[in-house]
Structure 1
């Protein structure tokens, strides 16, 4: 039976409310306001980074929260909720779902993805796991390990995945065609047309981040388009 939280996501828009320390909107109070605005706009869920932001968001919205904790470790390129330490903090903060890097890249401490899944299931048997992947094989392996959801979040962010400016809708379609685990389309979705195509190709739901919650990136896109125009003749 489909978990009620997962069922609530179907054909919906999940909004990623994240800001890094060097960004103007950094701060848990601002991210909480952003999440509240997303809820008012009809979002079905929130994706949030850091325990502090998760706690703040849970206080102002009733929407399910996909929690993650970005942290860098020496010798590993895995940074989305990389170890059990971050997983425990995300769950303690109130996340309904834990998102983690499920790529084939080496993990901190030499822990395998299979070992990490096993430990999560032992300590938190009822927590939902969202596997962020970058290529088809990683998605299939995450399903084999028992991920509750799979997201295309990291396509384009590993050296061996397609490097493209548009969302990897092909990956969404291939994974969705397996009819095994709900697939969330995430990554470089900037237009309503891309959102619609993702759903038409089998995405269970879409996760939108920068196109909604990062005004500096939105502004850059408009400025870039303006600069590409040739100067109009005067007179």
Structure 2
């Protein structure tokens, strides 16, 4: 089975969400709409924090951001993008050297392997252009649905899902919007609860909420403006 067919097969195995006519589904949908409305007021200009100039650089930055802060990635790519100014530079790069270039982002051996393999695939299969469809972009090494959603949305304006990073995952669980801890299943649940026109910006609003108001560590929830919408969320993280 080809890589493209394997990806297609995975996408055809949907997560079994709760019935849309159930009380729980309606409660979750109403709650998320209220939460999103509040988030829009709090962070009206939320956007991706990674810096990039080309679609390829965006893909590189997002792959490097796994288990790493955007701030650290931006520090690394400020130098990296000057050393490797073209896609061909990545194709011809030596993995050992590249590993050292991205070492501060963590998991650098695997990231280097994926980025350099991605460069070759984008060059050989897609003519040097980042694909515009979910099915195609998922065949690129190092790209799962979160990365795919971020790149498609920011590079091409294509919204095919919701990027579920650690912030969005924690938010969905905390506010009882899903029964799953798996990012792909969480994404599918959120897509049913939120209008498609809100999918793209939602991720960045939640990220800002996590960074500025509700970090993963224990904090003073009495100052959290979203807690009144769902008080149990505050009980879980009370100081």
TM-score for the superposition, normalised by structure 2: 0.28
Structure (1 or 2) with the greater helix fraction? 2
TM-score for the superposition, normalised by structure 1: 0.28
